[in-house]
Copies of this chain bind each other. A is one copy, B any other.
Amino acid sequence: MTGYALRRAQIAVFEGFRRTVGKIGLRPAQFSVMIVIHRTPGLKQTEVANALGIQRTNFVAMVNELERLGWVERRALDRRSHALHLTRAGQGKLSEAMAIERKQEALYDKILGPGERLKLLDMLRRLQVGLEA
């Protein structure tokens, strides 16, 4: 029941994401990656992947694509590890995306009623952390 409700709501929200933020060429996972790199530039690939619950093995292709798109760059830390940074184009793209996303969040606020969205985020976070512990 809880799992089903979560799944359906997540699908609906992701669908909204694709219709809005998606228009400028960003998928949900790419958006999350760029936000982490923006907030903590210089993290290693594996660190970014771990922070997002992505396996480092699947993360390689993602970084390849973001690099190909010119939004992210790998900088050698030593001869086996790469630090991730947003390029100037990546910063711009992320700003665009966040502006669109803010409108979506405002929509969720409207649907749920005043203050309820923050309450929802808190419950989701507690549920996730409580289960992963």
Contacts and interface: CB of A to CB of B under 8 A. Distances in A.
Interface of A: 1-17, 28, 32, 53, 101, 104-105, 107-108, 111-112, 116-117, 119-121, 123-128, 130-132
Given A112-B127, A120-B123, A123-B116, A53 B11 contact: yes
A3 B8 contact: no
B120 A12 contact: no
Nearest to A14: B3
B1 A121 contact: yes
Nearest to A125: B5
A128 B4 CA distance: 11
Contacts of A132: 12
Given A9-B124, A16-B131, 11 more contacts: A2-B104, A2-B105, A3-B17, A5-B121, A7-B10, A8-B128, A12-B128, A111-B126, A112-B123, A120-B123, A120-B124
A127 B7 contact: no
